[in-house]
A and B are shown apart, each in its own frame.
Chain A
Amino acid sequence: DQQVKQNSPSLSVQEGRISILNCDYTNSMFDYFLWYKKYPAEGPTFLISISSIKDKNEDGRFTVFLNKSAKHLSLHIVPSQPGDSAVYFCAAYSGGGADGLTFGKGTHLIIQP
């Protein structure tokens, strides 16, 4: 049973446009959500996070939106740049994090020139 779902395996966006990556979750106990970016042959790199008590968090070109009632979050990247091409993972944890992070399967974002 997948508790964190990223239903789009890949997404292609033109350079300069907005990239929107989506993530759904089923566990209502999750209280912290994170986005990671991963290049081939490297470990995941932390991008941005949001607590369940907020509905938006912004950091430069990256904004994460959380809709708790829909159990849905999204990552917006504006404007998209070629270096943004990577696999993006949505992750979540609950309580003190002793159960570790629960990851989605990832979305491969491809920025086209």
Chain B
Amino acid sequence: ETGVTQSPTHLIKTRGQQVTLRCSSQSGHNTVSWYQQALGQGPQFIFQYYREEENGRGNFPPRFSGLQFPNYSSELNVNALELDDSALYLCASSSRINYGYTFGSGTRLTVV
């Protein structure tokens, strides 16, 4: 059983650019969610997808958007990058909406 994999592991972008982060769900999981973890903070919920539909969203602006594909893999897109977007981005998958989540190792995004 493969776990949750995220790519890339590290990324450096310039302010104003756009970025796409990718996540492959654990086998058998149909729900995926994304979190932003700033330094010294706990992960913060960005949004969640269930069967290719967004079904929950945290307090993040519309320039944070996502997709879930038929194979349940997912993308997080961030437009018009700001310096404060520098963080660890975590993807988590689960087999039901209200079940325990399995996290990937994250993508470390640095905006300069």
Contacts and interface: CB of A to CB of B under 8 A. Distances in A.
Interface residues of B, number: 28
Interface residues of A, number: 27
A100 B33 contact: yes
Contacts of B97: 96-98
A101 interface: yes
A59 interface: no
Interface stretch (A14-22, A43-51, A62-70, A72-80): A43-51
B35 A100 contact: yes
Interface of B: 4, 33, 35, 40-48, 50, 55-56, 58, 90, 92, 97-106
A105 B41 CA distance: 5
B76 to A, nearest CB: 13
Given A96-B97, A106-B42, 14 more contacts: A41-B105, A43-B4, A46-B100, A46-B102, A49-B100, A89-B43, A97-B97, A97-B98, A100-B48, A100-B56, A101-B33, A101-B92, A101-B101, A105-B42
